[in-house]
Structure 1
Amino acid sequence: MPFFLLPFPIVDPVAVHLGPLPIRWYALAYIGGFIFGWMGLRALVSNERLWAANQPRPTREGVDDLLVNAALGIIIGGRLGHVLIYDPSFYLAHPLEIFQTWKGGMAFHGGLIGCIIGMWLFARARALPFLTISDICAAVAPIGLFFGRLANFIKPEMWGRPSDVPWAMVFPGAGDMPRHPSQLYEAGLEGVALFILLWLAARGGALRRPGLVTGLFGLGYGAARIFCEFFREPDPVQEALPNGLTMGMTLSLPLVVIGAVLLIFSLRRRSALA
């Protein structure tokens, strides 16, 4: 037991009651992510300095439809990803639980696949380059990741492994052992640090090389997630794999590879768009 522990800040998972309707922090995290992501998308597409002359991209108004596509893909894909990847036997026995999203259970990698499908449908309908659409969505994705990890911390869920670091916490429902606040590690790396990296890249002209921001996101998120998995306690049934691996590590490794390939692809082009 470490000499000093940070107390876990007990927060009611329900942020506010609107009559009989409870509004949970989890729901507010998604709402906040979508609202600030929408604002970021509109800021990106309307800043002429970030784009080459006549480079095709969505309009400020078109971003609204893109957000709807992406949001539906994230919610549907995230839930189905959790159901199919992490606990299919439970949901097969209790199919009505699939729709009870307020109990938690959203898989990032499933949400990513759903978002990709939504972006592809939008790009196809508007005859826009898919990589340009994925670049602007990737640039704002860390906003949603940040809010989502804070919601994991408040709930609390997805806590860390036992530790004696000075900032270890005893999480309700996780026993008496102090643990890493791994949700905050992920909020800092997958959210804040990755957001800064991608926006600096965008302001430096990365959007003129379609695929560059997407590649940076895949490489950055995958590396951050794999690193944080060393501190996060995996579910022994759903997430733990042999040889110290976790499901999160395994699913994030392809993102690192795909991100690296996109980086090489975009940087090896003769030049950025004029």
Structure 2
Amino acid sequence: MTQTVLHDIDPIALSLGPVQIHWYGVMYLLGFVAAWWLGRQRVRAGRLPGVSEQAFGDMLFYAMLGVVLGGRIGYVLFYAFGDLLQNPLMLFRIWEGGMSFHGGLLGVMLGVWLWSRRHRMHFMDSMDFIAPLVPLGLGLGRLGNYIGGELWGKPTGGGWGVVFPRALPAEYAGLPAERLRELHAQGVLDAFARHPSQLYQAVLEGVVMAALVWWYSSRPRPRYAVGGLFALLYGLFRFLVEFVREPDAHLGYLAFGWLTMGQVLSLPLILLGLFWLALSRRQPTLRPQPASN
């Protein structure tokens, strides 16, 4: 009996005539809803003193813009800069896919900085507040990657894993789903099974990070501490998963036969997390106060 799984999921959640709603977009929406709900609980608990639910809604709007714009710009700059030089308009083709977490993070930081400046809040108090709201959205986004059958892992080489149709050799390209099911049942496709790295990331970046950062932030912590833990954990988890994740075909490995762009971009996050955690040892601690109305 085969120990592999054939990826056989329709990436389209709903079709309304010419309009198609993809599961990836649904996961983004669910991530924002989760951040809004969790953020309201933290506001009501007074975890960002003097900030109302309406002001938090403004912060979340700034952060959402940062995710979308920063994610797209970051992807183009980090992963498709050559394409941008040839066709600058591709920057605006968001519907074609291509989002970068690291770019999205920079976008969120810029949005939160603008919001903090407007509300005369310390930037890191705002970042410490919003950090526990992010991991669930990350996990949902990775689940969306898996449903869409993209960003798969390396071959397992052990007769187990997930067979992604889009990652199969050319001779299998274009075969109908029913034929692929038959070949998989016969064990023909087992040799092409890959690590479901999207699910690894969903568990580490979503479930594990959500639990750890939320638990750590449940008690008042010094400024920089919660944001530092978030940056450190994400950087470490992403760096490790990259060892079993297929590098981008047009980039490949950048050095040593194993270093990927994802790892290069994660190293600064690890260093930033360690720096913020060290810096937090001499910082004040915000005490919960009732939220303003």
Report the TM-score, using the length of structure 1 for normalisation. Answer: 0.91
Name the residue aligned to 1:236: 249
Counting aligned pairs with the same residue, the percent is 41
Alignment-mate amino acid for residue 219 of structure 2: G
CA distance in 1, matches of 2:45, 2:261: 39
Alignment-mate amino acid for residue 169 of structure 1: V
Given candidates 108, 114, 126, the residue that maps to 1:121 is: 114
Name the residue aligned to 1:18: 16
Name the residue aligned to 2:51: 58
Name the residue aligned to 2:203: 188
Q: CA deviation at 1:57?
A: 4.9
More off after superposition, 90-99 vs 10-19: 90-99
Q: CA deviation at 1:165?
A: 4.9
CA distance in 2, matches of 1:172, 1:95: 31
Name the residue aligned to 2:193: 178
What secondary structure does 1:240 align onto?
coil
CA distance in 2, matches of 1:62, 1:192: 28
- Summarize the Cα distance change of 1:86–1:272 in structure 2 as closer, same or farther, 3 Å threshold: same
- Report if aligned partners of 2:7, 2:149 keep a CA contact under 8 Å in 1: no
Name the residue aligned to 2:213: 198
- Summarize the Cα distance change of 1:83–1:57 in structure 2 as closer, same or farther, 3 Å threshold: farther
Name the residue aligned to 2:270: 256
Q: How does 1:1-274 map to 2 (within 5 A)?
A: 4-48=2-46, 51=47, 56-165=49-158, 167-175=160-168, 177-206=192-221, 209-243=222-256, 244-269=258-283, 272-273=285-286
- Summarize the Cα distance change of 1:83–1:44 in structure 2 as closer, same or farther, 3 Å threshold: same
- Report if aligned partners of 2:209, 2:234 keep a CA contact under 8 Å in 1: yes
CA distance in 2, matches of 1:174, 1:100: 23
Pick the structure with greater CA Rg: 2
Q: Considering Cα pairs closer than 8 Å and 6+ residues apart, tell me whether 1 or 2 has the greater RCO.
A: 2
Q: CA deviation at 1:167?
A: 4.6
Alignment-mate amino acid for residue 261 of structure 1: F
Aligned residues: 264
CA distance in 2, matches of 1:242, 1:4: 36
| 1:177-198 deviation digits (Å, cap 9, x = unpaired) | 1110000000000111000001
- Summarize the Cα distance change of 1:116–1:224 in structure 2 as closer, same or farther, 3 Å threshold: same
Alignment-mate amino acid for residue 155 of structure 1: G
Q: Which consecutive segments of 4 or more residues in structure 1 shift more than 4 A? A: none
Q: CA deviation at 1:239?
A: 4.8
- Report if aligned partners of 1:42, 1:60 keep a CA contact under 8 Å in 2: yes
| 1:143-196 deviation digits (Å, cap 9, x = unpaired) | 111111011111111100111456511111112511100000000001110000
Alignment-mate amino acid for residue 236 of structure 1: A
Q: CA deviation at 1:58?
A: 2.5
- Report if aligned partners of 1:41, 1:137 keep a CA contact under 8 Å in 2: yes
Structure 2 unpaired stretches of 5+: 169-188, 288-293
| 1:209-236 deviation digits (Å, cap 9, x = unpaired) | 2211100000000000001000101023
Q: CA RMSD in A?
A: 1.8
